A and B are shown apart, each in its own frame.
Chain A
Amino acid sequence: MTVLKQFLGATATLAISAGAALADPALIYDLGGKFDKSFNEAAYNGAARWVEETGGSYKELEMQSEAQREQALRRLAESGANPIVMTGFAFGDVLNSVAADYPDTTFAIIDMVVDQPNVRSVVFQEEQGSYLVGMMAAEASKTGTVGFIGGMDIPLIRKFACGYAQGVKAANPDAKIIQNMTGTTPAAWNDPVKGAELTKAQISQGADVIYAAAGGTGIGILQAAADEGILSIGVDSNQNYLHPGKVLTSMTKRVDNAVFDIFTSGEDTETGLVVLGLADKGVGYAMDENNAELVSAEMLAPVDEAAAKIASGEIQVHDYMSDNSCPIE
């Protein structure tokens, strides 16, 4: 009990001293961890760029378990951090209940829509970026069979899969798409061994390009694909460098830009729904020296054409989450 008292006292002091200072922005990473080489790392990169350009400082927290979410949010809000950015759909419910208790704090959530007056919801049109890498996969495939491996089976990941499938079919209507999900629990984001085994299973079914949208599990998928000599597609951050010459491209989601923008506008961050798609350069595909030899100019031409058409609205990519179904199985 004494220990608890001391602890509470300490946090209270911390809260008071922090409140007196100028409000720092804060960033909370989801369970995948800060350096997941993917989604959370993209958020970190945005924050790092902001520090570099403005010299400011920010607070950050990494989630270790589901149970910490609410506590973490409240602690940061009470410490005076503003705005507070969190990555990941899983914060949705918690933020919905916590946001109302701190009306003066601006919250921002990425990948989820929370309808509260002081929350900025940033969502990406991943189906558009996935559509483009799907086209590239179909073009690069020699067997006419491509694969998709998702992390946890949730609508958001099905959205990736659906956009990808549409892109594959657009480039090659006869292509076969094999889809797998790693699991149905959050552990599915951190099981590289199972990811690798799924990759081998898809290869034995003929797949020679595999798109991994699976957080930490994706590391195992990219590794197995490189080991077996087939191509893979990374996700969220640019993952081309993980296995140079073996990763066809990466579907980039500019979480870094979103975080950077929020940090830059600070307490004046506009709340409400922000949708970032191809038109806003919120999603796209990654080209660098690691995959330059894999992607020829002839391959890119139709992809860029499609990108322009999607941005202008001429091509409509179906969003799985709009009706929880996909036109292509």
Chain B
Amino acid sequence: MSYLDLIALLDSTFRLGTPLLLACLAGLFSERAGIFDIGLEGKMLAAAMASATVAYFTGSAWVGLGAGIVASVLFALIHGVASITFRGNQLISGVALNFLASGLTVLAAQAIFHQGGRTEALRGAARFNAIELPFTAQIAPVPVIGPLYSTVLSGDSILSYIALLLVPLTWWVLYRTRFGLRLRAVGENPESVDTAGISVIRLRYCAVIITGVLCGLAGAYLATALQAGFGKEMTSGRGYIALAALIFAKWKPWNALGATMLFGFFQALSLRGDIVERVLHFQIPGPFLDALPYILTVIALAGFIGKSVAPKAGGQPYVKER
């Protein structure tokens, strides 16, 4: 494999990994607070549809992003009401929301645009266009680092960079702030948090809302940065891959970056059968490479790559007095 092949692969990895990363961080906040969220997929879908629609009518990708976040947070709040306030089963609520999003987005898009559940194509400022990072021209000729910076990092949309910055931010919030400490505690041992006089309910709602915001970013990234509009089921299971990545990452932010980019790398690899063949001198079927992230997750779950332990109170609604 030549260096240029690797650069092309990494470039693709970064684009494919970004929505996974955003969704994975979204899931991380929710699950760290003890709310399992299988509905990442649905929230992304709702955000993709809302952001594409509003961006089309306002001509501004930023307003679209705002609408995407609002839609996603609404879905997150429904999940919150069902699983926190009414102590319903979190998995069932998540699955239900996925179905709801899958149907509702197509219905709404069809009612508004009459294009078979697709939104009108976005142009110009209605999309997050690629931006050049500073000093790209100066760094590009530098061997090794040059192409890495100018091709892989530079030339993506602003949302990709926001996603990258969210990794240290998430780490800082989780491990260096009082809010983060409480958030983690509420996912491990909500009783102790409650005993300390802090509202478990409010903390969990905060976590669920953050999840909504991040899924909103992920959905808007798909519809207004990678693509120029919403299409039926356009998330294509990325929310579930993000969940797998979250388990693989052991619910830690930096690991999440590694896991999602690794999964993105496999997806990129499955698109470039020619490179795989050149390196290995035999063909690997694309579907096998597509399946690799899931195989890795199963291996991780089986405990081969260290132990992956979920937050202890995950999935259990908190009851104040028994």
Contact B287 A184 (CB under 8 A): yes
Task: Tell me the A residues contacting B by CB distance below 8 Å.
Answer: 33-37, 40-41, 178, 180-181, 183-184, 187, 190-194, 196-198, 200-201, 204-205, 216, 219-220, 223, 242
A34, A178, A204: the one within 8 Å of B116 (CB): A34
Give min CB distance, A67 to chain B, whole Å: 15
Which chain B residues lie closer than 8 Å to A178 at the CB level? Answer: 274
Give min CB distance, A16 to chain B, whole Å: 30
Per-position binary interface string of chain B over residues 280-315, scored 1 when its CB falls under 8 Å from any chain A CB and 0 otherwise: 000000110010000000000000000000000000
Contact B287 A192 (CB under 8 A): no
Contact B114 A242 (CB under 8 A): no
Contact B227 A196 (CB under 8 A): yes
Question: B234-291: which have CB < 8 Å to A?
Answer: 234, 236-237, 267-268, 271-274, 286-287, 290
Contact B116 A35 (CB under 8 A): yes
- Which residue on chain B has the smallest CB distance to residue A181? B286
A interface, by DSSP: helix, strand, loop or mixed? Answer: helix
Contact B272 A190 (CB under 8 A): no
If A33-B116, A33-B117, A180-B271 touch, whether A190 touches B227 (CB-CB below 8 Å) is no
Per-position binary interface string of chain B over residues 106-123, scored 1 when its CB falls under 8 Å from any chain A CB and 0 otherwise: 000000001111100100
Task: Select the stretch in B8-16, B134-142, B179-187 that faces chain A.
Answer: B8-16
Q: Does B231 contact A (CB under 8 A)?
A: yes
Task: Tell me the B residues contacting A by CB distance below 8 Å.
Answer: 8, 11-12, 15-16, 114-118, 121, 222, 226-229, 231-234, 236-237, 267-268, 271-274, 286-287, 290
Give min CB distance, A44 to chain B, whole Å: 9
> In whole angstroms, how far apart are the Cα atoms of A155 and B47 in the complex?
36
If A197-B271, A201-B8 touch, whether A33 touches B232 (CB-CB below 8 Å) is yes
If A35-B118, A197-B271, A198-B271 touch, whether A223 touches B234 (CB-CB below 8 Å) is no
Contact A190 B231 (CB under 8 A): yes
- Which residue on chain A has the smallest CB distance to residue B230? A192
Which chain B residues lie closer than 8 Å to A184 at the CB level? Answer: 287
Which chain B residues lie closer than 8 Å to A196 at the CB level? Answer: 226-227
Which chain B residues lie closer than 8 Å to A41 at the CB level? Answer: 116
Contact A223 B228 (CB under 8 A): yes
> In whole angstroms, how far apart are the Cα atoms of A33 and B272 in the complex?
29
Cβ contacts A to B, 24 pairs, < 8 Å: A33-B116, A33-B118, A35-B115, A36-B116, A37-B115, A40-B116, A181-B286, A183-B287, A190-B231, A190-B232, A190-B234, A191-B234, A193-B226, A193-B234, A197-B12, A197-B271, A201-B8, A201-B268, A201-B271, A205-B274, A216-B231, A219-B121, A219-B229, A220-B227
Contact A192 B234 (CB under 8 A): yes
Contact B12 A190 (CB under 8 A): no
If A34-B116, A197-B16, A242-B121 touch, whether A190 touches B8 (CB-CB below 8 Å) is no
Contact B121 A197 (CB under 8 A): no
Give min CB distance, B153 to chain A, whole Å: 16
A33, A193, A242: the one within 8 Å of B236 (CB): A193
Which chain B residues lie closer than 8 Å to A198 at the CB level? Answer: 271
> In whole angstroms, how far apart are the Cα atoms of A284 and B118 in the complex?
27
> In whole angstroms, how far apart are the Cα atoms of A69 and B151 in the complex?
46
Contact B227 A204 (CB under 8 A): no
Give min CB distance, B107 to chain A, whole Å: 11
Give min CB distance, B14 to chain A, whole Å: 11
Give min CB distance, A239 to chain B, whole Å: 12
Contact A193 B271 (CB under 8 A): no
> In whole angstroms, how far apart are the Cα atoms of A193 and B11 in the complex?
15
Give min CB distance, B70 to chain A, whole Å: 23
Contact B15 A197 (CB under 8 A): yes
Give min CB distance, A255 to chain B, whole Å: 15
* Central interface residue in A35, A40, A187, by most chain B CB within 10 Å: A35
